[in-house]
Amino acid sequence: MASEELRLVTAAQRGDVESFNALVRLYEGRVYNLCYRMLGDADGAADATQDSFLAAFRNLRVFRGGSFRSWLFRIATNACYDVLRARKRRPAMSLDATIAAAEEDAAPLQIADSGESPDEYALRRELAHAIERGLVELPEDQRLVVILCDLQGLAYDEIAEVTGANLGTVKSRLSRGRARLRDILRQGELLPQRFRHEGGLEG
């Protein structure tokens, strides 16, 4: 897989657009999801994804090997930060509007096959919405690390490569981001029942 990716990258560097398109097809889902979770709206995520691939295509000659995925995610991350900075300068979209857009854009959850009851389905849906809301409310650096680790499944060292932070900073941001989300779930009483801690449970 890695050798095939390397072959595609090398061919694309020589100007083969079809090889680059193969790379786009390989990563467009992940890049779009990264942008979507960072920005919280579908249109902004689509634009940022397009910008990311365009920037990658134009700068392919400066890619000097290593992980193409990390390099591409770094470009996508920068594209998202550009959008977020522009929003701060001209806050046409408030945080509430962003959260509402995120909920509106969210994919409808399917009822699980394994006999999930309507109550369980409703709870799962509520939990997903709470997580999405919570992600948008996280500080950007924590949000990025949580997305890269828990949604994209990257290892710590690759997250460090994408974000340009050291391992210690990655661990710190990740634990803080997760703790904030945990607090949000706690407040909404959305943690699974067995994890809710009542006074009587304390030994």
- Chain positions 114 to 153 lying near another protein, rule: CB under 8 A, are 124, 127-128, 131-132, 146, 149-151
The answer for residues whose C-beta is within 8 angstroms of residue 136's C-beta and 6 or more apart is: 40, 95, 98, 99, 102, 143
Q: Specify whether the backbone of 111 is left (phi greater than 0), alpha (psi in -120 to 50) or beta.
A: beta
Q: Are 4 and 10 in contact (CB under 8 A)?
A: no
Contacting range for another protein; rule: CB under 8 A; set: 59-67, 71-79, 84-92, 93-101: 59-67
Does the footprint of another protein cover residue 2 (CB under 8 A)? no
Q: Does 65 bind another protein (CB under 8 A)?
A: no
Tell me which residues in 6-45 interact with another protein (CB under 8 A). Answer: 12-18, 20-21, 24-25, 28-29, 31-33, 36, 42
Give residue for tokens 């689509």: 46
Asked if 200 touches another protein (CB under 8 A), the answer is yes
Which run of H or of E encompasses 191? none
- What is the C-alpha separation between 186 and 193, in angstroms, rounded? 11
SS3 114: coil
Among 74, 81, 172, 188, binds another protein (CB under 8 A): 172
Q: In terms of Cα–Cα distance, which of 80, 65, 66, 91 is closest to 31?
A: 80
Instruction: Evaluate whether 48 touches 39 at the Cβ level (below 8 Å).
Output: yes
Q: Considering beta carbons, is residue 36 or 73 the nearer one to another protein?
A: 36
Q: Of 21 and 78, which has the nearer Cβ to another protein? A: 21
Stretch that binds another protein, among 72-80, 82-90, 113-121, 175-183 (CB under 8 A): 175-183
DSSP-derived 3-state class of residue 63: coil
Applying the rule CB under 8 A, the residues between 176 and 195 that interact with another protein are 176, 178-179, 181-182, 185-186, 190-192, 194-195
Quick one: 56 or 70, whose CB is closer to another protein?
A: 56
Question: What type of residue is 144?
Answer: L
The one-letter code for the residue type at 39 is: L
Contact footprint for another protein (CB under 8 A): 12-18, 20-21, 24-25, 28-29, 31-33, 36, 42, 46, 49-50, 53, 57-61, 105-107, 109, 124, 127-128, 131-132, 146, 149-151, 156, 171-172, 174-176, 178-179, 181-182, 185-186, 190-192, 194-203
